[in-house]
């Protein structure tokens, strides 16, 4: 077994385990108010041309997801700035009120297409994500070179944040996520935001965020005026595969090139 395969197995296991219901999630972590763990991709003197924001799943942390960066070693990512923020510690209803890192409340798991949602909590979390994006734009990164990505609960927050950001972004990538609010929220979506492309990846064997919850995404997005590329992965449970990450790398590279050409 190669070192890459061993790494992938450990990465998938760590991310999946961190998003399950078990008591293993009930670990003590320092309080955090969306404390971003920023990782510059090159020397500090080099000017960042793009920004990737990764949002973790329930019970996980930002730093635990940093190994994902090793899949993005292409030259196009040489001047990419990465951020792996950690969710604040909050009581989670589906885990009997246990306090753990959580972007918003989750009422039940497994998550289905009809599960109740903490819409007010989602919108509050979106404000914090937008503040992070705004800081990067203020630092000179073009909005169309900004990509928001997330797994599970982080994928749901990714979707909400991209849809409700007032400008067009480079893209939003949802992994094993779901639509975290009702259709009434679409009235708040700006015309520019509707131009942001969405990549949605979901394992057919996911028994935490059911595949049906993922399948409900593209019709919702189509009705809201978004373009969504949906990819189903047979045999994949509630985890991230190397195929998904390599696909994400290609997807971002294509859009980086397009936005940089437009910028020049």
Catalytic residue among 86, 102, 206, 241: 206
Is 206 an annotated catalytic residue? yes
Residue 152 annotated among the catalytic residues of the structure? yes
Please pick, among 102, 118, 238, 239, the residue that the annotation labels catalytic. 238
Given a contact cutoff of 8 angstroms between Cβ atoms, the answer to whether 264 and 144 are in contact is no
Evaluate whether 222 touches 215 at the Cβ level (below 8 Å). no
Round to whole Å and give the CA distance between 24 and 125. Answer: 24
Whether 211 contacts 202, CB under 8 Å: yes
Tokens at 226, concatenated: 């978004």
- Which listed residue (50, 61, 102, 152) is catalytic? 152
Known catalytic residues? Answer: 152, 206, 238
């Amino acid at each position: 077994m190669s070192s890459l395969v061993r790494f992938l197995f450990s990465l998938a296991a760590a991310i999946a385990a961190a998003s399950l219901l078990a008591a293993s999630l009930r670990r003590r972590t320092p309080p955090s108010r969306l404390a971003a763990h920023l990782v510059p991709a090159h020397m500090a003197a080099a000017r960042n041309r793009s920004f990737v924001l990764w949002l973790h799943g329930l019970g996980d942390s930002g730093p635990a997801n940093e190994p994902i960066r090793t899949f993005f070693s292409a030259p196009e990512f040489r001047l990419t700035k990465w951020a792996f923020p950690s969710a604040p510690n909050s009581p989670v209803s589906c885990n009997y009120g246990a306090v753990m890192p959580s972007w918003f409340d989750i009422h039940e798991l497994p998550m289905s297409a009809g599960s109740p949602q903490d819409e007010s909590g989602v919108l509050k979390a979106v404000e914090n994500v937008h503040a992070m994006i705004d800081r990067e734009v203020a630092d000179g990164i073009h909005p169309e070179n900004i990509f928001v990505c997330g797994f599970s609960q982080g994928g749901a927050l990714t979707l909400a944040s991209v849809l409700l950001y007032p400008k067009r972004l480079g893209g939003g990538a949802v992994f094993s996520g779901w639509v975290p609010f009702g259709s009434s929220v679409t009235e708040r979506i700006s015309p520019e935001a509707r131009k942001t492309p969405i990549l949605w990846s979901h394992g057919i064997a996911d028994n935490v965020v059911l595949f049906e919850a993922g399948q409900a995404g593209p019709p919702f997005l189509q009705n809201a005026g978004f373009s969504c590329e949906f990819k189903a992965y047979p045999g994949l449970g509630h985890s991230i595969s190397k195929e998904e990450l390599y696909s994400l790398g290609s997807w971002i590279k294509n859009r980086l090139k397009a936005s940089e050409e437009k910028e020049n």
